[in-house]
Structure 1
Amino acid sequence: MANLNSKYDPNAESQTAFNAIPTGEYPAVIVDSDMKPTKRGDGEYLELAYEITEGQYKGRKLWARLNLKSTNSTAQEIANRQFASIREVTGVANPVDSQELHFKPHVIRVEYIPAGTEQKNGYVTDRDSNEIKAWKRLSDGVATNSAPSSAPAANNQPASPTPPWANKAA
């Protein structure tokens, strides 16, 4: 049993469901990572937790899973190419620990996958989801799917002592 006294905000709003985000490019960082065994137990994958850092979806998390050790040579080859892209965009050429990749800003290309989509392995998605398809350096530019925030242009005219409504022609 755990004592929860003063450990939470009793006025916090409940979490709403996270729907899949639109296809697009988003600035993001890796915030967590872990090597995990595959379901069959015959390999391992690197799970990378991403957090979007700007725009309408700031704070949203997405995951990439790279089958770095697999009995399926094609899956392992794809994972190694993806990992090479991640190493390149983060500037960490030869990481010894996946934590070296954390909090290095870059851009992820996210694809929206609607419910009912049949995957290459025959699995049919039961809900809308996202998949990270590509990585690029933040300096290469990013087109996000959110409206840019803009401040009103500064008025460089000197302030008039007469209020605007008093300037009406008679």
Structure 2
Amino acid sequence: MSRIKRWVNMHRKEFHPDGTLKDEARQQMLSEGMNEGAIDSYARRCKAQYDEWKHLDEIDPEPWTVYTAYDFFTPTEKQQFNPDGTLRAEYVESELRNGTSPGWLEEMERRKKIEVDSYNRVSEREAALGINFGEQEMNRLRASSQTYVERLKQMEVDLKNNEEPSTLPFDKDTSWF
């Protein structure tokens, strides 16, 4: 989204969406003992930042990568589900042939659709505030996967050093080692 939307969101209690100080904010500052000159100076500095961010949005918009809920599906889920959370027809057919109950398949689909709808609601709400929820989630997952690899490496070292099993980050009897 835009820098200006973030600015407006950060300052919405004190400033109008056009970057001007609200009268009630001015009155609050006066009641707290600030003088007119300090308030005017604060309002000018904030308005200057607003104008700068608005100009930057016009000449150099920030990239906004759009992530969907589907981008966060596991590889297995991508084989099972469509992007909207419905089960893929070929998966349903295969599972019914394997004896999976239709009720369980309906429940799987219901849960995934709720998950997709929830992601979409949060993403839309955050975008209105100038926050790229999908990008934040993707960055969180990337960071988490990096620490996961580091923890696996450390566990290998800990196992070689005969560390107490209760101190290990994972169960030592897993098939990773």
TM-score normalised over the length of structure 1: 0.22
Which of the pair has more CA radius of gyration?
A: 2
Structure with more strand by fraction: 1
Structure with more helix by fraction: 2
TM-score normalised over the length of structure 2: 0.21
